[in-house]
A and B are shown apart, each in its own frame.
Chain A
């Protein structure tokens, strides 16, 4: 494959053959080498070739790795009138994302009591496969969550308005969400899962601010000083979102067999923009996204209550921001000098909007949207800020995490969960997990170096570094 170097942090697969657009890869030489070790660049080419209405370029973020259909870390802006929408470009875990809470606690408050903190969080936020919600929803409540997202939580005295103000889309795609397009099976899967973490790479981490890179922006985000305790939550729409994606993949397959037959990977199936199925899927996806925002909001609420139980009612726990990194959003972008409405598919990619953008919260208008990039368990995570250059270069997008380097099978064969726990404890990082296997699968060594990923984002100007945080304790599924 012909991959041309554009500069120190970006490469291009030029348009050739049936490709509708080129592929642009944001990567350093070492990250590109890792990408080439799996099939992800070819998946970027498949997206560039197969999806009608794709604009500009098929993009790959610095953490890209092999997925199914789209690569993880893939971004595609697709014309919402003449193009299509592809569930595989969003992923099964619709609105998987990250929420960061800033607290008034310091490392000196928390480190001596970290095991106690993890015990409380573990109890309040059920992790793991089959972890069931402490909040049971009847039909009317579930429908209200699907319609209103995190707003439903605040209306019912879970959390505060400030949580919504500092959330992508204010935590709700009300008006776009069509709950009647979510199947009864999807609703049944989500009914017992509001406020739960799930398993896999999902986590709830107690972190400490280790380095403030941009003090001015960090202060606006409420990240005040080195040693401050923050909490990071990573999870999504649970079984409800998985089922929505599956339902519509199968419906598109049955409705558009000729499209299915033409694709290099079946998971790239799409619905043409003008079809009823495209509209139904977008409505159902928005409802699932609402469920995910409500899920992270409820977890945030439980964390706040748990920390106040331990450290007193005056403990401040404020939402810094909440980002989706598996979603398609209807956005306006300047493409070839012309403003166009597109469905920006971000599959394992974070929105990175600049200062002054109307979608950025009022409190952050002068600096830009916070970007939250978790590292692997036991390593650092980063807060970045959106930029104007991201609007020009990546449809307002950047990376979403470290990106896997090693399969779960290989990780399980390389590490034992119990040993890993001990190793981390020697570094004063405590893990409380629903499963040992869950710990070994998520070993830090199974991931790329997140520092290299965020450096590329920063150097490419598609998300600028603000602060580095490191873990004190991890709750895992």
Chain B
């Protein structure tokens, strides 16, 4: 199964991440975002970073999760190689995601290009199609 793909958007990037369930799709959102910035395959698996995000709505959870990735990049130079764990739990009004990433904090080692400024709610959709869960949104570049 394709983990994520990008679609045409004039100024920014529209991504769609897939999974057998929301949890897996959420993990693939992380890879979709990082692959705008760098080829994650090239990033060395040297350090781990973990965080938790909580939000009342699933859309807001996706937004906050993406923002956390950008925070790690700006403050530590952290680039992701892979998602070691991405758990999703909760109920409407109180959703939670716990994330453990493996990657590198030496961004200067890689061809780092796409600057993701922020997540947006633009064209954000969470749904099911063909037996898969998908999460899509536009990233502000």
For B10, give its contact among A199, A238, A405 (CB under 8 Å). Answer: A405
Residue of B nearest to A439 (CB): B113
Within the assembled complex, what's the spacing in Å between the Cα atoms of A22 and B34?
Answer: 40
B38 shortest CB reach to chain A, Å:
8
Stretch at the interface among A76-84, A386-394, A430-438: A430-438
Interface residue range, chain A: 35 or more
Instruction: Give B95-120 interface residues, CB cut-off 8 Å to A.
Output: 107-108, 111-115, 117-120
B13 CB–A CB distance under 8 Å:
yes
Known: A199-B114, A200-B115, A408-B141. A193 touches B121 (CB 8 A): no
Query: Which stretch from B20-28, B68-76, B84-92, B127-135 is at the chain A interface?
Result: B68-76
Question: Is the CB of B83 closer than 8 A to any CB of chain A?
Answer: no
What is the chain B residue whose CB lies nearest that of A65?
B10
Please measure, in the bound complex, the distance between the C-alpha atom of A439 and the C-alpha atom of B6, giving whole angstroms: 19
List the one stretch of A67-75, A147-155, A219-227, A284-292 in contact with chain B. Answer: A67-75
Question: Residue B122 at the A interface, CB < 8 A?
Answer: yes
Q: Which residues of A contact B45 (CB under 8 A)?
A: none
Asked if A129 and B107 sit within 8 Å, CB to CB, the answer is yes
Given A129-B37, A189-B74, A189-B75, A199 and B115 touching (CB < 8 A)?
yes
A167 to chain B, nearest CB (A): 23
Is the pair A246, B13 in contact by a Cβ cutoff of 8 Å?
no
Contacts A130-B77, A200-B141; A246 near B111 (Cβ below 8 A): no
Min CB–CB distance A444 → chain B (angstroms): 16
Is B48 among interface residues, defined by CB-CB distance under 8 A? Answer: no
Across-interface contacts of A437 in B (CB, < 8 A): 111, 113-114
Is A141 at the interface (CB under 8 A from chain B)?
no
Q: Is the CB of A92 within 8 A of B114?
A: no
The 8 Å CB contact of A265, one of B70, B119, B121, is B121
| Complexed CA–CA distance, A266 and B108 (Å) | 36
CB < 8 Å neighbour of A243 from B71, B121, B141: B71
Q: Which among B60, B70, B75, B114 is the interface contact of A250 at CB below 8 angstroms? A: B60
Asked whether, in the complex, the Cβ of A435 is within 8 Å of the Cβ of B111, the reply is yes
Tell me if B114 and A246 are in contact (CB < 8 A).
Answer: no
Q: Which residues of A contact B138 (CB under 8 A)?
A: 68
Contact of A129 among B8, B10, B114 (CB under 8 A): B114
Residues of A within 8 A of B115 (CB): 129, 198-200, 202, 477
How far apart are the CA atoms of A91 and B141 in the complex, in Å? 11
Say yes or no for A464: interface residue by CB 8 A criterion: no
Residues of B within 8 A of A245 (CB): 118
Closest Cβ–Cβ distance, residue A431 to chain B (whole Å): 13
Size of the chain B interface, CB-CB below 8 angstroms = 39
Is A92 touching B75 in the complex (CB atoms < 8 A)? no
A402 to chain B, nearest CB (A): 12
Chain B CB within 8 A of A66 CB: yes
- Whether the pair A239, B60 counts as a contact (CB closer than 8 A) is no
Q: Point out the residue from B11, B38, B113, B119 that lies within 8 Å of A67, measured CB to CB.
A: B11
Is there an interface contact between B70 and A242, defined as CB atoms closer than 8 Å?
yes
CB atoms of A65 and B114 under 8 A apart:
no
Bound Cα distance A243, B117 (Å):
9
Among A189, A408, A410, contact of B114 (Cβ-Cβ < 8 Å): A408
A409 within 8 A of B: yes
- How far is A65 from B10 in the complex, measured between Cα atoms in Å? 7
CB proximity of B125 to chain A, nearest CB, Å: 12
Least Cβ–Cβ distance between B103 and chain A, in angstroms = 12
Pick from A69, A129, A265: contact of B73, CB below 8 A. A129
Q: Which of A296-325 contact B (CB under 8 A)?
A: none
Distance of A129 Cα from B75 Cα, bound (Å): 11
Bound complex: CA of A72 vs CA of B7, how far in Å?
19
Please report which residues of chain A, range 183-222, place their CB below 8 angstroms from some CB of chain B when the two chains form the complex.
185, 188-189, 191-193, 198-200, 202
Q: Is B46 an interface residue (CB 8 A)?
A: no
**From B37, B64, B71, B113, residue with most partner A Cβ within 10 Å:** B113
Please tell me if the beta carbons of B10 and A38 are within 8 angstroms of each other in the complex.
yes
> How many Å lie between the Cα of A418 and that of B63 in the bound state?
34
Instruction: Find chain B residues with CB under 8 A from A128 CB.
Output: 112-113
Closest B residue by C-beta to A130? B107
Q: How far is the CB of A463 from chain B (nearest CB, A)?
A: 22
CA A99 to CA B118, docked complex, whole Å: 24
Q: Are A68 and B10 in contact (CB under 8 A)?
A: no
List of A residues within 8 angstroms of B118 by Cβ: 92, 242, 245-246
Of A242, A254, A405, the contact of B117 (CB 8 Å cutoff): A242
CB distance from B123 to the nearest CB of A (A): 8
Please name all residues of chain A whose beta carbon is closer than 8 Å to the beta carbon of B2 when the two chains form the complex: none
From residue 34 to 72 of chain B, which have CB atoms closer than 8 A to chain A? 37-38, 56, 60, 63-64, 67, 70-71
A407 touches B10 (CB 8 A): yes
Chain A residues within 8 Å of B67, by CB: 243, 246
Given known A-B contacts A250-B64, A408-B141, A409-B13, A441 and B113 have beta carbons under 8 A apart:
yes
Contact B121 A267 (CB under 8 A): yes
* Residues from 226 to 258 in A contacting B, C-beta threshold 8 Å: 238-239, 242-243, 245-246, 250, 253-254
Identify 17 residue pairs between A and B in the complex whose beta-carbon atoms are under 8 Å apart, listed by A's number.
Answer: A38-B10, A67-B122, A68-B120, A68-B121, A91-B140, A129-B115, A130-B73, A130-B74, A130-B107, A132-B77, A189-B70, A191-B75, A198-B115, A239-B74, A254-B56, A405-B10, A434-B113
Given A130-B74, A404-B10, A435-B113: 14 more A-B contacts, CB < 8 Å: A65-B11, A68-B120, A92-B117, A129-B37, A130-B73, A185-B71, A192-B75, A199-B112, A199-B115, A242-B117, A267-B121, A408-B114, A409-B7, A441-B113
